Amino acid sequence: MHADAGFCGSAWDAAYTGFGVPSGVKVIVSCDKKNNGAEMRVLASDGQLLTQIVREYDLAGRPLEEKPLWQNVAFLMLGHLAL
pLDDT, position 79: 54
Question: Looking at the predicted structure, is the pLDDT value of residue 36 above 90?
Answer: yes
Q: List, as one string, the DSSP characters of 11-69.
A: HHHHHHHTBTPPTT-EEEEEE-TTS-EEEEEEE-TTS-EEEEEEEEE-TTS-EEEEEEE
Rounded percentage of the chain residues whose pLDDT exceeds 90: 36
